[in-house]
């Protein structure tokens, strides 16, 4: 294992603010999987398999995990950063080149594709069993998605970049907020109620999100309604209606 010769040092100024999206995923049960014998043989194979499925969300391909196996077209956004975070990963997304805004239609497609991976994650796992003969594989994946101002930090000595921004912290909080919901996005994505309704989503208020009180979030309406009533009341409020 190669030693490093210094700790990270950033240039004195961060980049100008950029409009970005933070996507964070978490593999539930990864720590238990990691404690299996011969883990060094199986963990990279499993992580690469999951990463390849998520990559199809952005770059297109044939989604073998859904009943509809029609090929996905590449999305019109840029993946500018990805980072493994121990039991999941972070992606930073930007609008297409020479664009300052995201297409709301593309954001809806992104939400739908992530929801599909979450909903059919068992099929993603099943296709790697031959190469990873471990009984207790992670069987659930959770996604948190948010949008906001992102700043780029550049290393002073390496060709390496990191990103900071409240939406990264928010996405991290969202993915772990309600473990019975595998997909939660911030309403800061700025998709219309009409578009959300078209694809079966709804807005509710997350009332106990650490650091983000009364955050309006996007959830799958059917999954939200299927939560136990006590849990739903503990973690969420309905949006007020004004007449």
b/e 179-218 (16+ beta carbons within 10 angstroms → b): eebbbbbbbbbebeeeebeeeebbbbbbeebeebeebebb
Question: Sign of torsion, CA 128 132 137 138?
Answer: negative
Tens of pLDDT, residue by residue, the chain (243 residues): 666 566 777 777 777 888 999 999 999 988 888 777 777 788 899 999 999 999 999 999 999 999 887 899 999 999 999 999 888 999 999 998 878 899 999 999 999 999 999 999 999 999 998 898 887 889 999 999 999 999 988 776 667 788 899 999 999 999 999 999 999 999 999 999 999 999 999 999 999 999 888 999 999 999 999 999 999 999 999 998 765
Q: What is the pLDDT of residues 80-126, one digit of tens each?
A: 999 998 889 999 999 988 788 999 999 999 999 999 999 999 999 99
Reduced to 3 states, what is the DSSP secondary structure of residue 19?
Answer: strand
Domains and CATH numbers, the chain: 18-178 (3.30.70.1230)
Rg of the chain in Å (alpha carbons): 19
Q: Residue 113 corresponds to which tokens in the numbers above?
A: 């594709």
**pTM recorded for the entire structure:** 0.91
């Amino acid at each position: 294992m190669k030693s490093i010769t210094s700790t990270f040092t950033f240039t004195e100024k961060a980049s100008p603010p950029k409009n970005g999206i933070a996507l964070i995923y978490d593999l539930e049960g990864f720590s238990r999987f990691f404690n299996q014998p011969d883990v060094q043989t199986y963990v990279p194979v499993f992580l690469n398999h999951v990463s390849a499925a998520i990559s199809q969300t952005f770059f297109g391909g044939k989604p073998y995990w859904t009943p509809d196996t029609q090929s996905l077209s590449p999305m019109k956004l840029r993946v500018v950063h990805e980072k493994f975070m121990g039991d999941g990963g972070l992606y930073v997304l930007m609008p297409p080149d020479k664009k300052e805004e995201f297409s709301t239609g593309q954001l809806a497609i992104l939400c739908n594709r992530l929801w599909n991976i979450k909903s059919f994650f068992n099929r993603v796992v099943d296709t790697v069993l031959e190469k990873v003969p471990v009984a207790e594989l992670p069987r659930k994946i959770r996604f948190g998605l948010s949008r906001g101002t992102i700043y780029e930090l550049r290393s002073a000595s390496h060709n390496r970049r990191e990103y900071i921004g409240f939406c990264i912290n928010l996405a991290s909080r969202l993915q772990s907020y309600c473990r019975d919901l595998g997909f939660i996005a911030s309403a800061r994505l700025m998709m219309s109620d009409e578009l959300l309704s078209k694809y079966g989503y709804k807005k509710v208020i997350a009332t106990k999100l650490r650091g983000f009180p009364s955050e309006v979030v996007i959830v799958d309406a059917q999954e939200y309604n299927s939560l136990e009533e006590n849990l739903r009341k503990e973690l969420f409020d309905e949006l007020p209606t004004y007449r």
